[in-house]
Amino acid sequence: MTAAQLADFNCIAGQLAGWHGELVTPAQWKGAVPKEVHQPRILAALTAAEQGVLDAAKVAPTLKNNVVDAIGLGLWAVGRLGQPVPVIFKPKRRRAVRRKASVVFRMPKGLPSAA
């Protein structure tokens, strides 16, 4: 299974569960902002409790950037880090550049959020 097929599978599985999924590229959620600039913005968007969870997590230093990016993608998806784009999943053929896309799921309307 290719990365694109796995991403499609994740989107379809999420939709079957009532969630809405979309492939999101780094350019969509953080633009062309360098990691050295964007990651401090992500950390600044965290609440004190969220920062405490991150600090307590045993994340290898080599993976910390990836974890912060994942947190930033989640914050963006719920509107806490810039404005998210509408989520509509339309399966289509993937090109090689789509390998860097992540799948974002959002709760269906009407469900209580964790925030």
Domain boundary assignment for the chain: 3-106
pLDDT of res. 68: 93
Measured between alpha carbons, how far is 77 from 85 in angstroms, rounded to an integer? 8
Label residue 10 exposed, middle or buried (CB < 10 Å: 0-12, 13-18, 19+): middle
pLDDT of res. 105: 61
Phi, psi of 74 (to 5 degrees): -65, -45
Token pair listed for 49? 């409790």
pLDDT of res. 44: 94
pLDDT of res. 53: 93
pLDDT beneath 50, residues of the chain: 85, 87-99, 115
CB 87 within 8 A of CB 21: yes
